[in-house]
Amino acid sequence: MNFWTKVAGLILRNRYLVLLCIAIITGLLASQMKYMKFSYTEANLLPENHEANLEYNKFLEIFGEEGNLVILGIKDSTVFTPKKFNAWNKLVDEFDDLEEIDFTLSIADVQKLKADRKKRKFVLEPLYETEPKSLKEVSEIKKQLFEKLPFYDNLLFNKETGTLQTAIYIKKEIINTPKRRDFIFDKLIPNIEKFEKDNNVDVRISGMPYIRTLNAQNIQDEIILFVVGALGITAIIFFFFFRSFRATFITLLVVLIGVIWAFGFIGWFRYEITVLSALIPPLIIVIGVPNAVFLINKYQQEIKKHGQQAKALQRVITKVGNATLMTNITTASGFATFVFVKSNLLREFGILASVNIVSIFILALLIIPIIYSFMPLPKKKHLNHLETRWIENVVNWMEKTVKDHRIAIYFATVIVIMAGIIGVYKIRVSGSLIEDMPKSKQFYKDIKFFEREFGGIMPLEILIDTKKDKGVMKLSTLKKMDKINETIESFPELSKPISVVNLVKYSKQAYYKGNPKYYQLPTNQEQSYIFSYTKNSNSEAGMLKNFVDSTGRYARITTFMKDIGTDKMNVIQERLQAVIKKEFPSEKYKVTITGKALVFIKGTNYLINNLVISLSLAILLIALFMAWMFRSPQMILISLLPNILPLLITAGLMGYFDIPIKPSTILVFSIAFGISVDDTIHFLAKYRQELITNKWRVKQSVYAALRETGVSMFYTSIVLFFGFLTFTLSSFGGTIALGGLVSITLLLAMVSNLLLLPSLLLTFEKKIANKKVFKEPSIRILPPKEDKE
């Protein structure tokens, strides 16, 4: 009695106990779902000890969280009328009073720097004392602002277009907590909507905290969409093939329990739900249904053959159990390779996916035979699909093509490989933080608005360490920093920089009675008496603390980036580094370029390098599986080629259709490879069984294997194709690309496994079809064919 016969006996004899155990485990995992929480930070794709992360953390240590800025923008000429102008400033004051807000910066807060000659110090005066009552007063404020205060240009207004901008700084301690979400949804959005309605104007909102909050909400909404979509579409296709409510209900029950387990594991492991982990529950549905297809198909074939339920159920477990176990292990292995990547985001995804794939296999193997054991035998109408005419025609066409057109198959394969390689060279890499965001949503349109008006919303920081206290305020250092500012201003992709240099220029302007033409760095002669005013001023100290640390050793230059990809960012970095190298000798200064956007871009490049490692590891792992299962070196090559080919086509399509490599599309290859190998294992397992039965006659064995496994492979591939297609319902560009690409890859893998794989077996028959090469396998995937009853 072999292992699987014992397993079958154990499952069917202890039906009630097995169901009770499943119910208890499901209950326990369901109780863990309360620990599920959505991520409140950006996905950090780099390992914690990566240089870019260490530099960014150093910056945060000195200047605190830089991603705490929400910006409001208004581009409407009527805002410069007394009623709307005062209402706009009142709205900002209301935000300023909220407990979640650190401070706000708007036109109402504008302070003019003035030189007090008697006390030899700078003082701050408000731009205006009382609310303007007339159009003339508002026009005067606008003129003062736009013509006399270049310090605030691009910070609070765009003088070319008349757009106003207000900065709201959320308290740093709540920025990565659920309180941020509550503030955005319960206070910020309702107040702005009320203001828009009352004043008939359109307010734009942006900034990283706002974008992250709306993005997280989108992910939350889409999990339900994906789960319902995947369940709905797989149920419809399953019913179309099997024409049985009973079989469809059992399958849905298995995958629903699988979804509860998936959510339970996320809670149990205390992982946060990110764009990637949100894909796990629908992924489990899509991967779980093919398990049910193989098990239910086998049960119905057995019933049709001999009509004995007990025998049929035992054979379902003994004959399909091992093959399904192997296919699920190879799929799980494809995902498990992410565990070896140093990125936490991918490691968590790999762990969750591989644990859940093994779980859904166990659930299918236990639940399906047990539920069928309580049910009456399937009626003739339930078995009719086994003789469906059109499926028969599909299988006949495949057999005829492999028999008569093998040269055409190889010729097509060579052309496809060449086209794929050309496409691969067209692939670009994208490290954009917002490229995947839903283009139809208002918050994405607002991002584009701020890019046009103010040069972007993603902070890029330059940290300057002068290596000695009070080193920042030396004129020589300020001049060097100004060179960086000039370089930044030369890039249309970056906004005007903000730093201590702007403040020192403003000090000189104030010294010369506010004349805008003196908005520049002081000369060596002017330095001593202008800086003497600065030393006596408290007013400047408050403004200074945002740009220089308390010791005067560190300074920051802040600019905001447009949504640019990796290539442009590399050019910008190279030019900035060249200026830094020239102006800041390394023995006296340490200058680092950092910021959230840069960390994300570096993370993307890091992931791409890791993709090559994880995919190579997956291929190696599966090659070792093949070697171990079939004990034949030739079989490794023959089995891998039909699965690597679809990956090459997908990579080529990404090049031709300009779908960039990015964190979301990186997963396509590992997911598709892990799943497509399943078909190969089913086919080769059946082929080997037929070889023994047919006394090593290859042709007969190949065609027999093709006829028997072709139907199940066709069913499962169609289910997988439409299952992954549900991801295209997403509003995230990356998830849409992932769904579409995996669907296409799996369809191509099916064609490759049903045409190219049998052709290769027939071509190399003399090399592989002998007992010396094709030894007894380590694991008997399918038992020897039983005698015909």
Percentage of the chain modeled with pLDDT above 70: 92
The pLDDT of 283-306, averaged and rounded, is: 84
pLDDT recorded at residue 724: 86
Alpha-carbon distance of 593 to 52, in angstroms, equals: 9
Q: What confidence tens digit (pLDDT) does each residue in 337-392 have?
A: 788 777 777 888 889 999 999 999 999 999 999 999 998 887 776 666 666 677 77
Which residue has better confidence, 240 or 495?
Answer: 495
Q: What is the pTM of this model?
A: 0.78
Least confident interval from 42-51, 208-217, 228-237, 481-490: 42-51
For position 21, what pLDDT does the model report?
95
The pLDDT of 699-720, averaged and rounded, is 83
pLDDT of 135 = 92
Lowest model confidence (mean pLDDT) among 71-75, 587-591, 686-690: 686-690
If we measure between CA atoms, which residue out of 736, 776, 771 comes closest to residue 275?
A: 736
Residue 511: band (very low, low, confident or very high) from pLDDT cuts 50, 70, 90: confident
Residue 225 or 190, more confident: 190
**Ramachandran sector of residue 375 (left: φ over 0; alpha: ψ -120 to 50; beta: rest):** beta
**Section 131-147 average pLDDT:** 90
Average pLDDT along the chain: 84
Please report which confidence band the pLDDT of residue 184 belongs to, taking 50, 70 and 90 as the band edges: very high
- For the segment 63-71, the average pLDDT, to the nearest whole number, is 81
pLDDT at 20 over 90: yes
User: Which one has a higher pLDDT value, 28 or 389?
Assistant: 28
* Confidence band for 418, pLDDT divided at 50, 70 and 90: very high
pLDDT band of residue 456 (cuts 50, 70, 90) is confident
Does residue 787 have a pLDDT over 50? Answer: no
Lowest mean pLDDT of 273-277, 413-417, 591-595, 722-726, name the range.
273-277
Higher pLDDT, 179 or 665: 179
> For residue 497, what pLDDT is reported?
93
Question: Where residue 555 falls among pLDDT bands split at 50, 70, 90?
Answer: very high
| Cα 627 from Cα 636, distance rounded (Å) | 6
Residue among 339, 326, 425, 331 nearest 614 (CA): 339
Most confident of 132-141, 174-183, 559-568: 132-141
Q: Do the Cβ atoms of 370 and 13 come closer than 8 Å?
A: no
How far apart are the C-alpha atoms of 684 and 705, rounded to whole Å?
8
Contacts 24+ apart (CB under 8 A), 579-585: 579/483, 579/484, 579/487, 580/462, 580/484, 583/480, 583/483, 583/484, 584/464, 584/480
Domain boundaries, the chain: 3-42+213-425+600-768, 51-209+440-599
- Parallel/antiparallel/unpaired status of strands 272-273 and 111-116: unpaired
Task: Spell 562-575 as b/e; 16+ CB within 10 A means b.
Answer: bbbbbebbeebbee
Long-range contacts of 247-254 (CB under 8 A, 24+ apart): 247/292, 247/296, 247/382, 250/292, 250/296, 250/367, 250/368, 250/371, 250/372, 251/288, 251/289, 251/292, 251/296, 253/367, 253/371, 254/288, 254/291, 254/292, 254/360, 254/363, 254/364, 254/367, 254/368
More confident call, 631 vs 466: 466
What's CA 187's distance to the chain center, in Å? Answer: 29
Mean pLDDT of all residues in 141-154: 88
Strand segments, DSSP code E, in 371-467 are 458-465
Whether residue 242 has pLDDT greater than 60: yes
Least-confidence region, from 382-386, 608-612, 716-720, 744-748: 382-386
pLDDT band of 770, cuts 50, 70, 90: low
Per-residue model confidence (pLDDT) at position 42? 65
Least confident of 38-47, 177-186, 588-597: 38-47
Q: Is the pLDDT of residue 556 over 90?
A: yes
CATH C-level class of 3-42+213-425+600-768 = mainly alpha
Average pLDDT over residues 543-554: 83
Is the pLDDT score of 470 beyond 90?
Answer: no
The mean pLDDT of 438-458, rounded to a whole number, is 85
User: C-alpha angle 626/628/633, rounded to 5°?
Assistant: 60
Task: For residue 789, name the pLDDT band (cuts at 50, 70, 90).
Answer: very low
Asked whether the beta carbons of 650 and 669 are under 8 A apart, the reply is yes
Tell me the two tokens of residue 614. Answer: 């994880």
**pLDDT band at 788; cut points 50, 70, 90:** very low
Among the residue ranges 312-321, 530-539, 624-633, 737-746, the one predicted with the least confidence is 530-539
pLDDT, average across residues 145-172: 88
Percentage of residues of the chain with pLDDT beyond 90: 25
Would you say residue 685 has pLDDT above 90?
no
The string of pLDDT tens digits covering residues 261-281 is 999 999 999 888 877 788 888
As to burial, measured by CB atoms within 10 angstroms (0-12 exposed, 13-18 middle, 19+ buried), residue 303 is: buried
